[in-house]
Structure 1
Amino acid sequence: MSDDLKLVIFDVDGTLVDSQAAIVAAMTAAFEAVGVLPPERSVMLSIVGLSLDRAMPVLAPELDDDLHVTMIEAYKAAYHANRLTLGAASMPLYPGAREALDALVQIPEVLLGVATGKSRRGLDAMIEAHGLEKYFVTRQVADDHPSKPHPSMIFTAMAETGVDRGRTVMIGDTEFDMAMAAAAGVAGLGVSWGYHPVHMLAPARAVLGRFDELPGQLDSIWTEAAA
């Protein structure tokens, strides 16, 4: 592993893009597909970050596995249809997100990645919609890993980039992101603008209130790693 390279891994939904309207609409369609009333919006957003095969049993524990599969397929179909109709408008970037990515990608020793509960199709669509193809050298998705908070996504990202734990940072908006970072032994930075309240991000080293706070937090982490 290189002592010079650093890795910044971003969650997607609730961290880089605000896809809550699309998520709620797709989850509502999932419940309608099995004839069950959907839970409140806040409850639906509470599972963002989990893979769908973990999320559905949490939201509808009274249903059996076959109905959970039906819900997953209905969710995927509704989300895809919404994305085709609205494009980037279904998942706008948060203020400051592009500027933060632009600044980081200009630093030669910094590599960027994503670790998301999205499918590869969903992530690729988001990246294409916002023209982010050049940014992420490692892309970890739900298709290939156990659900967060299992650390598999972070371990694979580190292996692909050759960056060690001390120089790897995970940024996300949910308790699942912070628990995943802790399980992988890397620094976790929470964000306050996402789908879980700040008090649920307690394992985080810090919680960002704006993207322009990110450079200072990264510098602090990496200075400690080099000491």
Structure 2
Amino acid sequence: MSASQRLILFDVDGTLVDSQGSIVSAMSAAFDGLSLPVPERARVLSVVGLSLPHAMARLASEQGASVQGRLVEAYKEAYHAQRVAQGAASSPLYPGALDVLRALHSEPGNLLGVATGKSQRGLDALLEAHGLEGYFVTRQVADHHPSKPHPSMIDTARAETGAEPASTVMIGDTSFDMEMAKAAGVTGIGVSWGYHSTTALADAASIIDAFDQLPPALEKLWN
């Protein structure tokens, strides 16, 4: 990687796509299926970004590991069924996301990547549904890493691309994303439209309110 190249990593749920309806619905189905009290919507959204076993451990902390494991599998089944039935509509892109991705991808100095709590299967299906398969040179998913905010996803993305910390930025909507960026020694940019309040994004270098604010925020960061 040359000194002029930059690695721009994106979280997915709550940052690129609004999947909260599908997440909450699948979580409700999982808990209902095991005849357990369904967590409130706010609680469910508070754990988005964590890998699924870690998220379920928080939501069902009073249950044993066996029940938590069954909840994980039930959630996966419910979420997959929704995705098959609804396609891209189950997780629509946020306004302006596609235009900004296209613009950033078209600049020769930019390398785009993903660091997400999704599974490989889930991410691949999402990218295919939205026609984004060719945009990201590195894709880090929950299957192969410790849960956020461990820096493993960012560290691996940097290793794959040769990006230096000063030339890497993590964009996300949760405290987990910003804490992961800090742990990896890279800059975090928070987004205000996701699932954590902006007050939770204390480790962000800046917070944007719309996708069209991202390119100027990146230019300010690197200039």
**TM-score bucket of the superposed structures, by smaller chain:** over 0.9
Structure 1 partner of 2:78: 78
1:136-192 C-alpha deviation (Å, 9 max, x unpaired) = 000000000000000000000001011100010000000000000000010000000
CA distance in 2: counterparts of 1:176 and 1:13, whole angstroms: 12
Check if 1:31 corresponds to 2:31: yes
CA distance in 1: counterparts of 2:145 and 2:111, whole angstroms: 21
> 1:2 deviation in Å?
2.9
Structure 2 partner of 1:63: 63
CA distance in 2: counterparts of 1:66 and 1:83, whole angstroms: 26
Structure 2 partner of 1:187: 187
Structure 2 partner of 1:200: 200
CA distance in 2: counterparts of 1:35 and 1:119, whole angstroms: 26
Structure 1 partner of 2:144: 144
Check if 1:122 corresponds to 2:112: no
CA distance in 1: counterparts of 2:182 and 2:2, whole angstroms: 22
Amino acid at match of 1:50: L
Amino acid at match of 1:203: D
Structure 2 partner of 1:107: 107
CA distance in 1: counterparts of 2:55 and 2:186, whole angstroms: 25
Amino acid at match of 2:144: D
Secondary structure of 1:95's aligned partner: coil
Structure 2 partner of 1:96: 96
Secondary structure of 2:63's aligned partner: coil
Which 5+ residue runs of structure 2 have no aligned equivalent?
none
User: Over aligned residues, Cα RMSD in angstroms?
Assistant: 0.7
> 1:99 deviation in Å?
0.5
Structure 1 partner of 2:21: 21
Query: Residues 33 and 70 of structure 1 are in contact (CA less than 8 Å); yes or no, is this contact kept in structure 2?
Result: no
Amino acid at match of 1:135: Y
CA distance in 1: counterparts of 2:135 and 2:216, whole angstroms: 20
Amino acid at match of 2:208: L
CA distance in 1: counterparts of 2:221 and 2:23, whole angstroms: 33
CA distance in 1: counterparts of 2:155 and 2:189, whole angstroms: 17
CA distance in 2: counterparts of 1:52 and 1:133, whole angstroms: 23
1:72-127 C-alpha deviation (Å, 9 max, x unpaired) = 00000000000000000000000000001010011001000000000000000000
Amino acid at match of 2:37: L
> 1:34 deviation in Å?
2.2
1:6-48 C-alpha deviation (Å, 9 max, x unpaired) = 0000000000000000000111112123221111101111000
Secondary structure of 2:137's aligned partner: strand
Q: Which moved more, 1:151-160 or 1:25-34?
A: 25-34
CA distance in 2: counterparts of 1:151 and 1:15, whole angstroms: 18
Structure 2 partner of 1:135: 135
What is the number of residues matched between the two proteins? 223
Kindly, what percent of the aligned residue pairs are identical? 61
